[in-house]
C-alpha cells in the first residue's frame, strides 16, 4: 500500500502520540540495542534514541522512510519487510507500535522477531486487537456490498487467545497481554472519518469507481454519525492488543 506521509503526520499523529505510553513500557536503557519494527515516520524511533539506546528502524514503506529520514537524519533506518529481515547483530528488545495488523503472515513475523532477539530479549508490541474498528469496517463492507463490490478483509486483528499461543510456540514467555478499548479522537471535526478511511482503508476501494467511492463514503458517514460522532468530533472504535513477552529459548 502507498502511504501519504503528509496526511499521516498532519491528521493521524495520534498513532505515534499513543505509542509514547508503549515506549514507557519498553523502558529503553542506554546502550541497549533496540529494533523499531515498522518505524513509519520515525517519531518514536527518535524518542528511543533520545533515551540513549542504539536504535534501528525498519519499515516496508519507502514514502514513510523518506519522511523519517527528512525529519530525523541521524537515525539508522532500513527498508525491510517484517516477515523477512535480518541483521548481523541481535537485539536486546523489539518495539512495534500499530504495525503488526498490516502483516497477514503473522507466524512469519513472530519467527523473525524471535530470531532477531538475543536470548532473554524482550518484545514490546501493540497493534489492533479483535473487533478493532469493527463499526467502520462493518459500515464500509455493507455499503460496498450494496454497490455490488466484493470485499476481502485485509487486517489481522487477533484476540489474546489467538495470538499468545503463536508467541509461545516460538519460544516466548508472555509477561503481559492486554486487550482494551481505545476510542480514538480523529483530528478533523468535519472530515475525520473520511480522512481515516482514505489514509488507512485504501484497500477497500482498490477496484471501486470514483463516483461509487464518493457515494459510499457519504453513506458510511451518515450511518456512523449516531455512534462515532460525539460532541462535534469523530472517533474511531479502536481496540488494542498490547503484549510484553520475553524470549526464553
Ligand atoms: C490500528 O492502529 O489499529 C489501525 C490503523 C489503521 C488501520 C487499521 C487499524
**Residue-number span of the structural domain to which 175 is assigned:** 5-133+155-189+235-247
Q: Is 155 in the pocket of ligand 1 (CB under 6 A)?
A: yes
Look at residue 221 and tell me if it is in a domain: no
Cα 129 to ligand 1 centroid, rounded to whole Å = 9
The whole-number pLDDT of residue 218 equals 98
* 197 lies in some domain: no
Query: Is residue 150, in this structure, part of any structural domain at all?
Result: no
The CATH code of the domain that includes 159 is 3.40.50.150
Please give the average per-residue pLDDT across 186-191, as a whole number. 94
184 found inside a domain: yes
Q: Residue whose CA is closest, atom 9 of ligand 1? A: 128
Identify whether 127 is part of a domain: yes
The number of distinct structural domains making up the chain is 1
For the Cβ of 132 lying below 6 angstroms from any atom of ligand 1, the answer is yes
- 249 C-alpha to ligand 1 centroid (Å): 31
pLDDT digits (tens, 9 = 90+) for 113-148: 999 999 999 999 999 999 999 999 999 999 999 999
What pLDDT digit, counting tens, does each position of 63-114 carry?
Answer: 999 999 999 999 999 999 999 999 999 999 999 999 999 999 999 999 999 9
Ligand 1 atom 3 nearest Cα: 128
Q: Is the pLDDT of residue 2 over 90?
A: no
198 is written with which cell numbers? 482514505
CB-based burial, 58-86: b 16+ in 10 Å, e otherwise: bbbbebbbebbeeebeebebeebebbebe
Kindly state whether residue 35 falls inside one of the protein's structural domains: yes
Distance between CA atoms of residues 89 and 46, nearest Å? 20
The verdict on the CB of residue 22 being under 6 Å from ligand 1 is no
User: Which of 98, 104, 239 should be mutated for ligand 1, with most atoms under 8 A from CB?
Assistant: 98
pLDDT at 208 > cutoff 90: yes
Residue 151 has pLDDT above 90, yes or no: no
Comparing 75 with 16, the larger pLDDT belongs to 75
Determine the average pLDDT of the residues in 148-154: 87
pLDDT of residue 17: 86
Residue 173 falls within a domain, yes or no?
Answer: yes
Q: Is residue 93 part of a domain?
A: yes
Cα of 237 from ligand 1 centre, angstroms: 10
Q: What is the 3-state secondary structure (H, E, C) of the chain?
A: CCCCHHHHHHHCCHHHHHHHHHHHHHCCCCCCEEEEECCCCCHHHHHHHHCCCEEEEEECCHHHHHHHHHHCCCCEEEECECCECCCCCCEEEEEEECCHHHCCCHHHHHHHHHHHEEEEEEEEEEEECCCCCHHHHHHHHHHHHHCCCCCCCCCCCCCHHHHHHHHHHCCEEEEEEEEEEEEEECCCCCCHHHHHHHHHCHHHHCCCCHHHHHHHHHHHHHHHHHHHEECCEEEEEEEEEEEEEEECC
Amino acid at each position: 500500500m502507498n502511504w501519504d506521509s503528509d496526511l499521516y503526520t498532519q491528521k493521524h499523529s495520534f498513532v505515534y502520540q499513543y505509542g509514547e505510553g508503549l515506549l514507557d513500557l519498553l523502558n529503553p536503557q542506554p546502550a541497549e540495542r533496540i529494533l523499531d519494527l515498522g518505524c513509519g515516520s520515525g517519531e518514536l524511533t527518535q524518542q528511543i534514541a533520545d533515551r540513549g539506546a542504539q536504535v534501528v528502524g525498519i519499515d516496508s514503506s519507502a514514502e514513510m522512510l523518506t519522511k523519517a529520514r527528512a525529519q530525523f537524519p541521524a537515525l539508522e533506518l532500513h527498508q525491510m519487510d517484517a516477515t523477512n529481515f535480518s541483521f548481523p547483530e541481535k537485539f536486546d528488545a523489539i518495539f512495534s507500535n500499530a504495525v503488526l495488523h498490516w502483516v497477514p503472515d503473522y507466524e512469519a513475523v513472530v519467527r523473525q522477531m524471535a530470531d532477531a532477539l538475543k536470548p532473554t530479549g524482550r518484545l514490546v508490541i501493540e497493534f489492533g486487537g479483535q473487533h478493532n474498528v469493527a463499526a467502520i469496517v462493518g459500515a464500509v463492507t455493507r455499503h460496498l456490498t450494496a454497490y455490488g463490490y466484493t470485499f476481502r478483509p485485509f487486517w489481522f486483528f487477533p484476540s489474546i487467545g489467538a495470538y499468545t499461543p503463536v508467541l509461545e510456540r516460538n519460544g516466548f514467555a508472555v509477561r503481559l497481554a492486554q486487550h482494551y478499548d481505545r476510542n480514538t479522537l480523529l483530528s478533523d471535526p468535519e472530515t475525520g472519518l473520511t480522512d481515516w478511511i482514505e489514509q488507512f482503508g485504501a484497500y477497500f476501494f482498490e477496484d471501486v469507481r470514483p463516483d461509487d467511492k464518493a457515494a459510499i463514503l457519504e453513506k458510511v458517514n451518515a450511518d456512523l454519525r449516531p455512534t462515532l460522532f460525539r460532541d462535534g468530533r469523530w472517533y474511531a472504535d479502536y481496540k488494542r492488543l498490547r503484549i510484553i513477552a520475553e524470549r526464553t529459548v
